[in-house]
Structure 1
Amino acid sequence: MSPIPQVQVAGHSVGRMGYGLMQLTWNPKPPAEEDSFKAIKAAADAGATCWSTATFYGPDFANIRLIANFFKAYPEYKDKIVLVVKGGADYKTIEPYGNDIEFLRSDLAKTQEILGDKKIDVYSMARLPEKGSVEEVFTNLETLRKEGLFTAVGASEMGVESLERAQKITQIAIIEIEVSLFSFEPAIREVVKWSQSNKIPIFAYSPLGRGFLTRTYKTPEDIPDGDFKKMVPRFQGEAFYQNLKLVDRLDEIAAKKGVNTSQLALAWIVGLSDYTIPIPGSSNPKRAVENTQAASITLTADENKTISDILDTFEVQGTRYPGAAMHQLVSQVVLEPQLTEDGF
């Protein structure tokens, strides 16, 4: 299997396609652990060596425990993987505690206890808290980094102004934001540009539009009860069907290219800059390999222009998070020194 393109994260060379583990545990019906292991291993073997996890992806650090169990079963992978951990949030409420250094210290201690001798490479807040400032949160993170609790500081759902402020406190190793052909609003585009100019990688989460771009769901009713998407406006009612028109057009481009639409979507993200790393997740080993290999697909200038023209004219219906969560996202205006535009 040919190696995929590489980029540096926290001092390590990693593949330009990462792997998101959220759905393996934070899921109404999570797959069996042995099935998850097969997909994880397939992705890593294909070149997805930078992983995205979080302390709150399931009850009692479920995702961290899954990773720890994987490394117990396959210890030879410990040194191959760069682990990016989001934390600082309560599992049940997802309330961020970035202004509480003792909460973060406890979060990290529990994570490291579970992981054993696998080091936390990057640690970030999933979202900034409503109280406090960017400076307070990143001062806390830098203090904990200097204590040796992890190697590098990451950022999540942060806009350019917040990133500029955070960078004055500590070096940012990676930025995790939602980037896809289904989510490419102006504020996200600005972060992509900032990432390129500052040579800081982006972890592009939900790169396949939470399964929308792959037609995982044919109707809103196909989304299972308990699934987060049941609350997301762009997956509801008429908005769902209007948004499928975007997928129709992308399917046509993919068919002409001779790839599937998921590979087209992932290759497009990789081609946005030298620092974008999509993090698709899948419990299907075959799909995990297909996704990872998309990092080596290059779109032509004409294909990119066609896609750009579509994105510039197609208006996605519905927001990407429920109303109550929208104030935490990258597009939110920063207030000094309180709310920032960072989100979950």
Structure 2
Amino acid sequence: MPSRTLGDPASGSALRVSALGLGCMGMSEFYGPSNERESLATIAAFCDAGGTLLDTADMYGPFTNEQLVGRAVAQRREQVVVATKVGIRRRPDGSRSVDGRPEHVRAACEASLRRLGVEHVDLYYQHRVDPDVPVEETWGALADLVRAGHVRHLGISEAAPETLRRAHAVHPVTAVQTEWSLWSRDVEVDGVLATARELGVGVVPYSPLGRGFLSGALRDRAALASDDFRRSDPRLQDGRLPSNLRLVEQVQALAAELDATAAQVALAWLLAQGPDVVPIPGTRRAGRLAENLAAVDVVLGTDLLARLDRTLPVGADVGDRYADMSPLRR
């Protein structure tokens, strides 16, 4: 597995990780029933293949995903880079709220360390920006965690360009996590990508396969489990799904020319966007993992990259990324 650097060595924020990370969220919830034994085997296979970056969050489960990752890395802690997040609180009734208060950051970090069974978090993200708490206050608390040795590097998720600048002024940002794929290219035009590169911040695309859509396996929303959150994805609703499926079919046609899968081409396209890009495709199955990891060997020439840009330009997808876009890009 090749490696890449997130962050800027000159600022002390550089973090070396595998070119592809592993998103662990779906191993605990959101995508229907999962199997813990299968999930642990998938994480082990990822690490055995040279993968190092494991991505989780306290709100996944809630809490149980960190526990799962903790069990998976217990015997190979020095081999992996553990990334987790703070800032989204889950209530017993299923509702959520954003919390960037310094006291919550401190308490949440302590709890994450305990659940993960580690002495420090390698990369700690502010999961969402709290509109009621200045980002400088949140990042002041995060910086304190770095100074105390509880956290090594800091990141931020779904931050607007000016928010990214403000956070970076408090403490160097190693990575900004944001949705980015051939199906979701807003980051290329809304200033987030440009600002990250100006500041020397690495980019970690989540949902790099469009929540599985770009693999071509998802063609009917009715086939999803009743508790699969994609049932509410605006882009999968009946009035929009046919248009979006045509985009996937075009990716599949291009992939066939390379004897690759659509998922591999989608990941290879992201990897080709720059050495500061580290996608974190999520899967809980070893077979799908092997397919994803093979994307590092898929070479997209200049012509094919240009064809992909013409086929799926910015704004080609039909529908918003979330049913409620209000918590994003603050």
Normalising by structure 1, what TM-score?
0.88
Structure 1 segments of 4+ aligned residues over 4 angstroms from their partners: 8-12, 186-189
- Taking structure 1 as reference, are residues 96 and 165 closer, same or farther at Cα in structure 2, changes over 3 Å only? same
1:217 alignment partner, SS class: coil
> How far did 1:274 drift?
1.3
**What 5-or-longer segments of structure 2 have no aligned partner?**
8-12
Q: 1:17 aligns with which of 20, 25, 31?
A: 20
1:298 counterpart SS class: coil
Alignment of 1:1-344 (within 5 A): 3-8=1-6, 11-27=14-30, 29-59=32-62, 61-72=63-74, 75=75, 77-92=76-91, 93-98=95-100, 100-185=101-186, 190-312=191-313, 315-323=316-324, 326-330=325-329, 341=330
Match of 1:337 in 2: none
Counterpart in the other structure of 1:338: none
Residue aligned with 2:38, SS: helix
Task: Go from structure 1 to structure 2 and tell me whether the alpha carbon gap of 1:160 and 1:281 turns closer, same or farther (over 3 Å shift).
Answer: same
Q: What letter matches 1:80 in structure 2?
A: Q
Deviation of residue 298 (structure 1)? 2.2
SS state at 2:17 partner: strand
Give the CA deviation at 1:154. 0.8
CA contact (8 A) 2:233 2:322 kept: yes
Q: Distance in 2 between matches of 1:235 and 1:166?
A: 34
1:148 aligned partner, one-letter code: G
**How many Å apart are 1:68 and its aligned residue?**
1.4
Identity fraction in percent? 28
Report the residue type matching 2:68 in the other structure: L
Which residue identity does 1:7 align to in structure 2? T
1:6 & 1:23 partners in 2: Cα distance?
24
C-alpha distance after superposition, 1:248-289 (max 9, x if no partner) = 111111001111000000010011111111101111112212
Count of residue pairs the alignment pairs up: 322
Query: How big is the shift at 1:95?
Result: 1.2
Aligned partners of 2:292, 2:216: CA distance in 1, in Å?
Answer: 15
Q: 2:10 matched to which residue of 1?
A: none
* Amino acid across the alignment from 1:54: A
Task: Give the letter for the 2:208 counterpart.
Answer: P
Moved more, 42-51 or 313-322: 313-322
Note the residue ranges of structure 1 that are not aligned, 5 or more in a row: 331-340
